[in-house]
Structure 1
Amino acid sequence: MTGFDCRSELHKITAETLVISGKYDGLNPPVDGKVCAELIPKAEFVEMQYSGHLPMLEEMERYNEIIDNFLRPGS
């Protein structure tokens, strides 16, 4: 995946989008997730405070809460 960069295409995403990053993710650092979220017109960025690369396992309850809130109608 080295050299793969789709940032120039992110502005084309029209769906509401949730970008989640783990604070301690060394593979996909939160700064990269934040940049992606800023390039997507209707994106929300969330940084998981106690996670690395697998926030869905490392902070399962909080992760599920974030997903539920994002998918809840009228949120």
Structure 2
Amino acid sequence: MNRLINSAEKYDSRKELHKIKHATYVLGASHDVITPVDQQKQLIEAIPHAHFSVIQSCGHASMYEKPAEFLAALIGFLSLPSHLSIG
């Protein structure tokens, strides 16, 4: 557990995000204290062709807290025309 916590606290992949070559979906949550909205926005700014939306009144575990909204958002992104896939 200590190794997992240390990894989460020290690993920073932000300098690699520009290398992502496929359409990417960042599904944020308005009450996420682990990855706050300002940090979510930093992700989309660093990832080319990133799409972003936020589930309101939800924390970090949106797939459990609001599963219907999470799935609707995910299916919506996956339903986008295939030309949005870069690569």
| Global fold match (TM > 0.5) | yes
Match of residue 56 from structure 1: 63
Match of residue 27 from structure 1: 34
* Partner SS state of residue 2, structure 1: helix
Task: Tell whether the 8 Å contact from 1:51 to 1:58 is kept in structure 2 after alignment.
Answer: yes
Counterpart of 1:39, as a letter, is: A
For this pair of structures, how many residues does the alignment match?
A: 75
Match of residue 68 from structure 1: 75
Structure 1-normalised TM-score?
A: 0.89
Higher helix share: 2
Structure 2-normalised TM-score?
A: 0.78
Query: Quick one: which of 30, 47, 54 aligns to 2:54?
Result: 47
After TM superposition, where is structure 1 displaced by more than 4 Å over at least 4 residues in a row? none
Deviations 1:5-53 (A, max 9, x none): 1111100000100011211111111211111111100101111111101
Q: Which runs of 5+ in 1 are unaligned?
A: none
Q: Distance in 1 between matches of 2:80 and 2:44?
A: 21
RMSD: 1.4
Counterpart of 2:75, as a letter, is: D
Q: Which runs of 5+ in 2 are unaligned?
A: 1-7, 83-87
Deviation at 1:71, TM superposition (A): 0.6
Percent of aligned pairs with the same residue?
33
